[in-house]
Structure 1
């Protein structure tokens, strides 16, 4: 069996220090095969927030892949957002949208953020055709019998949580990824954990969302997901700060 820790929305600048320290201890003591971080490392994409995020990720000492969240794009500087939105990510560059292949499990990144959208709320998700094609190429290259997890920030379709993603192109992306062999899509953004089955044609894809380690909780306390893979089957447990874990 192989265990992964799926964490999201730490929001350095508004992180819950107790929750981050608790997560660090769990990684140190339990040594998951990898950490999958699905975005919103920072609160306002400030340099000091990225510095804290980089230090945190480096300290975990396990393989890591990181998705970019909407809070990780420059908030107060429109020029930086449009011209060089990921400049402050350079310290984390080797982890960003990094495919991982670990013991029969392939982690495929999918970008769901956009520098600009033709709608007022740019925090919502967007899957471009270019981003989707990159992810499809990675998924289709996985050998037969392998487990494929797609990692993105925004849920591709709504999962019944209080917060929403309203991801443009999300349903199209989910259908294409299912056809390419994806077994699950791991996301963040909504700050509450979930694991639901979603039928796509003749296949079923699991939609798995992680909670938050920030002060910005919604319906559930700070948490992360533990995903255990056994052959081609897998299970998810939400592990809550100060409370028993819950099978999703």
Structure 2
């Protein structure tokens, strides 16, 4: 079993130091095999914000955590026009990671991160054809027994982003990206961006989306909340290629506590859901729970 902590949208520059320290304490206590952070390390891509985010990542590394990181749209300068168009991810590569499409593989999982942040868009994301080719190539060499996980900041699909059911824009080159994810046999697609917790079968969002389970993370440490959903991150247990447990770990004002706990099993390429009877899990209300 692979244990993965999936954080997103930590937004240094609009963060709460107390919550940042609480994420470190939780990760140190629970020792995941991999910590994924799916973008938006900073609020405005300022150098001081990147330095603060880099110091946080260094503390995690010194504690022995293995990290897989992808940038978000907030990691591209918004107001520094020259940097935005001439070197949009230079600060990210200097302070966070010089690998924009990271790879992790062990005996249980294979994980590919893809950069969806672009200088020509303010908030939307794109995947290009080189990244699609990389996805196909990387996963073509992975054993079918391993769980295949794709990580992006922007979700591949149009996502529900409000209580009224309104949908977001899909990632650029959406049709090609979905086709490639399907061909690559992606089991789980992880993303962030909307500060909302959500989980659903991809086939319920897009026809011919394949067998992927889409899992969105809320914001782990930002003070910029959506619909009053508290800070949270995802705790994922991957059991082979057809069994995954998802527990939302939620900030309750004093620390992080285990919240909603759901198990998904893939039976004949269809994910079925069951709520886990977890006596230790506090049912902290979320505005958009896994569904």
Q: TM-score, normalised by structure 1?
A: 0.92
* Equivalent position of 1:176 in the other structure: 180
Rg larger for: 2
* Equivalent position of 1:50 in the other structure: 50
Instruction: Measure, in 1, the Cα distance between the counterparts of 2:135 and 2:194.
Output: 22
SS in 2 for 1:44: coil
* Equivalent position of 2:251 in the other structure: 241
Structure 1 unmatched ranges of 5 or more:
none
Runs of 4+ in 1 over 4 A off after TM superposition: none
> Are residue 17 (structure 1) and residue 20 (structure 2) matched?
no
Q: TM-score, normalised by structure 2?
A: 0.79
Contact 2:5 2:235 in 1 (8 A): yes
> Are residue 72 (structure 1) and residue 71 (structure 2) matched?
no
Instruction: Measure, in 2, the Cα distance between the counterparts of 1:173 and 1:23.
Output: 32
189, 211, 226: which one pairs with 1:218? 226
Contact 1:193 1:210 in 2 (8 A): yes
102, 108, 113: which one pairs with 1:109? 113
Contact 2:109 2:148 in 1 (8 A): yes
Contact 2:8 2:37 in 1 (8 A): yes
Query: What's the CA shift for 1:133?
Result: 1.7
Instruction: Measure, in 1, the Cα distance between the counterparts of 2:176 and 2:124.
Output: 16
Instruction: Measure, in 2, the Cα distance between the counterparts of 1:211 and 1:21.
Output: 17
* Equivalent position of 1:187 in the other structure: 191
Q: 1:19 to 1:95 in 2, by over 3 A?
A: farther
Instruction: Measure, in 1, the Cα distance between the counterparts of 2:48 and 2:42.
Output: 9
Q: 1:95 to 1:127 in 2, by over 3 A?
A: closer
Query: What's the CA shift for 1:170?
Result: 2.4
Q: 1:94 to 1:116 in 2, by over 3 A?
A: closer
Total equivalences in the alignment: 244
Instruction: Measure, in 1, the Cα distance between the counterparts of 2:6 and 2:258.
Output: 17
Q: 1:176 to 1:169 in 2, by over 3 A?
A: same
Contact 2:110 2:148 in 1 (8 A): yes
Instruction: Measure, in 2, the Cα distance between the counterparts of 1:45 and 1:101.
Output: 30
Matches within 5 A, 1:193-232: 193-199=197-203, 201=208, 203-212=210-219, 213-219=221-227, 220-232=229-241
* CA deviation string 1:70-107 (max 9, x = no partner): 00001111221111112212132256432111332011
Instruction: Measure, in 1, the Cα distance between the counterparts of 2:33 and 2:98.
Output: 18
Structure 2 unmatched ranges of 5 or more:
262-289
Instruction: Measure, in 1, the Cα distance between the counterparts of 2:146 and 2:195.
Output: 29
* Equivalent position of 2:35 in the other structure: 35
> Are residue 88 (structure 1) and residue 91 (structure 2) matched?
yes
Contact 1:165 1:189 in 2 (8 A): no
Query: What's the CA shift for 1:144?
Result: 2.4
